Amino acid sequence: MKSKKQWMSKRIVRWWLFCAFVMILLPVQVVASPEVVVESGAMKQVRTTVEQVLSILRDKSLAAPEKRRERRELIMARIKNAFDFVEISSRALGRNWLRLSRDERISFVGLFTAVLQHNYISKLEAYSNEEVLFVNDELNEIVRTDPKTKERVTTYRSTVFTDILKNDHKIPIQYKLKKVDDQWLVYDVVVEGVSLVMNYRSQFSQIYDKEKYVGLEERMKEQIRKSEESL
Tell me the mean pLDDT in the region 191-215. Answer: 93
Give the SS3 label for residue 138: strand
Crossing angle (nearest 10°) for helices 41-57 and 68-82: 180
Distance (Å) of CA 220 to CA 19, 109, 119, 154, 186:
20, 11, 11, 36, 22
Q: Is the dihedral of CA 135, 85, 123, 70 positive or negative?
A: positive
Query: What b/e sequence results for 70-82 when a residue is b if at least 16 CB atoms lie within 10 Å of its CB, and e otherwise?
Result: ebbebbbebbeeb
- The three state secondary structure string of 27-80 is CEEEEECCCCCCCCHHHHHHHHHHHHHHHHHCCHHHCCHHHHHHHHHHHHHHHH
Is residue 190 within 8 Å of 20, Cβ to Cβ? yes
Kindly list the structural domains of the chain, giving each domain's residue range(s) and its CATH number in brackets, ordered by start.
4-225 (3.10.450.710)
What is residue 231's predicted lDDT score, i.e. its pLDDT?
A: 67
What is residue 153's predicted lDDT score, i.e. its pLDDT?
A: 87
Instruction: Read off the pLDDT of residues 133-156 as tens digits, 9 standing for 90 and up.
Output: 888 999 999 999 988 888 998 899
- Residue 129: pLDDT band by 50, 70, 90 thresholds? low
Pick from 26, 5, 29: nearest CA to 75: 26
Give the SS3 label for residue 20: helix
Q: Give yes or no for residue 76 having a pLDDT over 80.
A: yes
What is residue 96's predicted lDDT score, i.e. its pLDDT?
A: 97
- Residue 167 region, left (φ>0) first, then alpha (ψ -120 to 50), else beta? left
Q: Give the span between the Cα atoms of 42 and 119, in whole angstroms.
A: 26
Is residue 216 within 8 Å of 7, Cβ to Cβ? no
Q: Give the span between the Cα atoms of 75 and 181, in whole angstroms.
A: 24
Q: What is the pTM of this model?
A: 0.78
What is residue 57's predicted lDDT score, i.e. its pLDDT?
A: 82
What is residue 39's predicted lDDT score, i.e. its pLDDT?
A: 73
Q: What single DSSP character describes residue 90? A: H
Phi, psi of 141 (to 5 degrees): -105, 120
